[in-house]
Amino acid sequence: KGKVEIKVKLPNGYGSVVKLSGTRRNPYMVRKTVGFNEKHYPVYKIIGYTKTREDGLNMLAEYNHDPYDIEARKMTFNEVYHLWEEKKFPKLSKSLQSALKSAYKHCDKIYDMKYRDIRTMHMQDCIDNCGCGYSTQGAIKNLLGHLDKFALELDVINKSYAQLTTADPIPETTKDRFSDEEIKKLWKLYEDGNEWADTILILIYSGFRLNEFLDLTVNSIENGCFKGGSKSNAGKDRIIPIYSKIADMVQNRVDRTQNYLITDDGENKLSAATYYKHYYEVLKLIGTRKTPHEARHTFRSLLDSCGANKKCIDLMMGHKSKDVGLRRYTHKTIDELREAIELI
C-alpha cells in the first residue's frame, strides 16, 4: 500500500543519508561523521539536503569521490564576485576593471543565487536583456568567464557554463583613415601657422589613443622617442620613436610648456572635451570629419603600406602580437622601431 524504502548498509566512514522528521522540501540529510564530542556522541559534517534518499546517496557518492569545500559550495554569485574582485581585480588593466565593474551591474538577477546553481540560461539572460550593445554584452560574457574560472579554482563548481554563453559579434569597423590628400592639407595648415594642426599630425604619426596623447608630458620624451600608453600590458609605457618629419613640431610643443605636451596655458593638461573643440575646428578647414581614433588607424595603415615589420607595428600600436612566434621570440630594438617608422 505504501512505498517501501530498502536501506543499504554503507561502508564504515562512508557517511549516511537520514530522513528528518516533519514536512520538508528536502527531508533527507546527507552527512559524514568527522569526530566525537566529550560524551562520545558523533559530530557530523552536513554535506547537504535532498528530496529523495537516492539523490542523497548520489550526493554522498559525489562527495566521497571528490571531497569538496562545503562552505564554498554555498557561495552566492555576489560572494564569488567580491572575493574575485579582492584577489584578481588588481592584476587587470584599469580599462578592463572599469568594463567589468559595469558588466557586474547587469548581473543583478543572479546576485543572490548559489553560484553552483547558476546555469548557462541564467548567464545568457543577463547578456541578452542588458539593454546594451555588443560592447557591454561582450564585457558581461568576459566577466562571467573570469568568475567561472575563479569558482573552479575554489571548488565552488566543477563545470564552467560561461563558456557556452554568446554575445553579439563586434560589427565591422566603420573607421576610416585620413587620406593622403587630407594629410597634405593638414601639413599646409601647419605651415601656414595653424595653432592646432600639428597635434593632429602628431596623432597620425604616433598612433596614440586620445587619452594617451593628452597624458604626454615633457618627461614622456627622451632620446627622440615618446614613452606613453596606458590601455593594456602590451600598450603601457610603450616606446614610439618620433618620426623625423614631426620632430620640430614636437620640440616646439616642448619649448612652450612646463608640463603637459598638449596644453593651451603652458602647463595644465587639456581635457578631451576642450581638445575635441580645437580638433574639429581644424578638420572643418580641410573639409573632413574623422575621429582622433581614425588618426590611430591612419598610423597603422601607413606603416602597413610601407612594408614595416609586423612586430614593430604591434609594439608601436601597443597590440599583443597574434602570432605566437612573434609574441614570444621576437625582440626589437629602438633602432629597429625607428627604421620602421622612417619607412613612411
33-77 pLDDT per residue, tens? 888 888 888 888 888 889 999 999 988 888 887 765 667 778 899
pTM above 0.85, yes or no: no
- Mean pLDDT over 22-31 rounds to 91
What pLDDT is recorded for position 233? 52
Give the Cα separation of 205 and 33 in Å (integer): 71
- Mean pLDDT over 132-143 rounds to 92
145 pLDDT above the threshold of 80: yes
183 pLDDT above the threshold of 70: yes
Angle between helices 310-317 and 292-305 (to 10 degrees): 160
Identify residue 290 by its one-letter amino acid code: K
What pLDDT is recorded for position 8? 65
Rg (CA), the chain: 30
Please give the helix or strand (H or E) that residue 30 lies within, else none. Answer: strand 28-36
Q: Which residues pair with 28 in a beta bridge?
A: 19, 50
Report in angstroms the alpha-carbon separations of 209 from 137, 200, 203, 231.
Answer: 23, 12, 8, 9
What pLDDT is recorded for position 117? 93
Q: How many C-beta atoms surround the C-beta of residue 314 within 10 A?
A: 21
Specify the residue for cell string 602628431.
202
Give the Cα separation of 140 and 128 in Å (integer): 10
- Over pLDDT 90: what percentage of the chain? 63
